[in-house]
Amino acid sequence: MVQIGTDVQKAKEFLMQGDLIGLPTETVYGLAANALNPDAVLKIFRVKNRPSFDPLIVHTDSVDKVQTFVTAIPELARRLAERFWPGPLTILLPKKPIIPDLVTSGLETVAIRIPNHPMALRLLSMLDFPLAAPSANPFGYISPTTARHVSEQLGNRIPYVLDGGSAQVGIESTIIGFAEGGPIVYRLGGMSLEKLEALVGKVSVRSHSTSNPKAPGMLSSHYAPRKPLLLKTPAQALVNYKPERIGVLAFEEITPLVPVEHQQILSLAGDISEAAKNLFAAMRALDAFDIDVIVTELLPETGLGRAINDRLRRAAFKG
């Protein structure tokens, strides 16, 4: 199995050799490689079985470094960076040729963020290259929020996972760009629309694409457990399934209709941020149960509830 540890120097050495590592961030764990090395980046696509038309996010540790990878930082983008970096916000910016086309899937923009995780920032500060780092999971499956999740999913396909504890946000970063003049959110995530709009005004949301996405994480089917996940109430599911064959992913309340050991509650306090932090781990736990189906209902469409609902809709069974 992959080695798990806290040795930042060892992680650096693997990256400098062109290898991949599991990278802790505040959102989810990333599968990281030298973003300027196309051979290393290609390993990401192979290990994840990720389609090459789905672009990657580039991670670094300072705005000064960002300026070496992009041709310009528009005023609105600069304001967002100054306010929300480090943090769960990715910004699409026009790229310089130094960023390989493989990273951006041929697009003229590159998705960049500065993660808000001390271990990730320490590693990035030690490198003279940025890291391409999508979530460290097989493509389309639930994103990992602990080093153990990475190990369970990727096994010995990578040499090292840097263990930075549980991800504190628990869902991927929000992605924002500035095509057509105004700000556009291409992926709902760990930075709420309310916070963005308080700084830059009204933003539009364009978060789904079935092919050739304009930004990472836009594909309409994603984040899915292996068992079917249905957007239904437990009562609706009982029409077709026995109670003991149903798993429930609930926001804040246990249902008496299904065995309690087959239920995962995201936040007994009804806290949406806590629910976001627990989402992927709860989905993963249910996927491991001896059940036939997982049922869940959408959360309130406020704050990070929008991003949670986005993940649930994309994970939902399409059959």
Verify that 185 and 295 share a domain, yes or no. Answer: no
Verify that 139 and 233 share a domain, yes or no. Answer: no
Look at residue 211 in the predicted model and tell me its pLDDT.
Answer: 46
Verify that 252 and 298 share a domain, yes or no. Answer: yes
Instruction: Tell me if 113 is assigned to a ligand binding site.
Output: yes
Output the CA–CA distances (angstroms, integers) from residue 238 to 234, 242, 246, 300, in the order listed: 6, 6, 8, 24
Look at residue 210 and tell me if it is in a domain: no
One-letter amino acid at 3 equals: Q
Distance CA 310, CA 84 (A): 22
Instruction: Tell me if 302 is assigned to a ligand binding site.
Output: no
Instruction: Tell me if 11 is assigned to a ligand binding site.
Output: no
Verify that 76 and 7 share a domain, yes or no. Answer: yes
Distance CA 126, CA 280 (A): 30
Look at residue 88 and tell me if it is in a domain: yes
In this structure, what token pair is assigned to residue 72? 């310009």
Task: Quote the percentage of the chain above a pLDDT of 90.
Answer: 84
One-letter amino acid at 267 equals: S
Instruction: Tell me if 149 is assigned to a ligand binding site.
Output: no
Instruction: Tell me if 173 is assigned to a ligand binding site.
Output: yes
CATH classification of the domain holding 119: 3.90.870.10
Verify that 150 and 92 share a domain, yes or no. Answer: yes
Instruction: Please write the tens of the pLDDT for every residue from 201-215.
Output: 999 998 665 445 566
Verify that 161 and 278 share a domain, yes or no. Answer: no
Verify that 21 and 59 share a domain, yes or no. Answer: yes
**Residues 6 or more apart in contact with residue 74 via CB below 8 angstroms:** 93, 178
- Say whether pTM exceeds 0.75: yes
Distance CA 45, CA 226 (A): 20
Instruction: Tell me if 187 is assigned to a ligand binding site.
Output: yes
Instruction: Please write the tens of the pLDDT for every residue from 258-314.
Output: 999 999 999 999 999 999 999 999 999 999 999 999 999 999 999 999 999 999 998
pLDDT surpasses 50 at 22: yes
Instruction: Tell me if 27 is assigned to a ligand binding site.
Output: yes
Distance CA 5, CA 153 (A): 17
Verify that 170 and 233 share a domain, yes or no. Answer: no
Verify that 238 and 98 share a domain, yes or no. Answer: no
Verify that 170 and 264 share a domain, yes or no. Answer: no
Instruction: Please write the tens of the pLDDT for every residue from 182-191.
Output: 899 999 999 9
In this structure, what token pair is assigned to residue 194? 């309310």
Distance CA 72, CA 57 (A): 17
For residue 243, what are the domain limits? Answer: 229-315
Instruction: Please write the tens of the pLDDT for every residue from 95-106.
Output: 999 999 999 988
Q: Count CA atoms within 13 Å of residue 216 on its CB side.
A: 26
CATH classification of the domain holding 245: 3.40.50.11030
* Pair 31, 139: CB distance under 8 Å: no
The three-state (H, E, C) secondary structure of the chain, written as one string: CCEEECCHHHHHHHHHCCCCEEECCCCCCEEEEECCCHHHHHHHHHHHCCCCCCCCEEECCCHHHHCCCECCCCHHHHHHHHHHCCCCEEEEEEECCCCCHHHHCCCCEEEEECCCCHHHHHHHHCCCCCEECCECCCCCECCCCCHHHHHHHHHHHCCEEECCCCCCCCCCCEEEECCCCCCEEEECCCCCHHHHHHHHCCCEECCCECCCCCCCCCECCCCECCCCEEECCHHHHCCCCCHHHEEEEECCCCCCCCCHHHEEECCCCCCHHHHHHHHHHHHHHHHCCCCCEEEECCCCCCCCHHHHHHHHHHHCCCC
Instruction: Please write the tens of the pLDDT for every residue from 225-257.
Output: 999 999 999 999 999 999 999 999 999 999 999
* Pair 160, 154: CB distance under 8 Å: no
Verify that 194 and 236 share a domain, yes or no. Answer: no
Instruction: Tell me if 68 is assigned to a ligand binding site.
Output: no
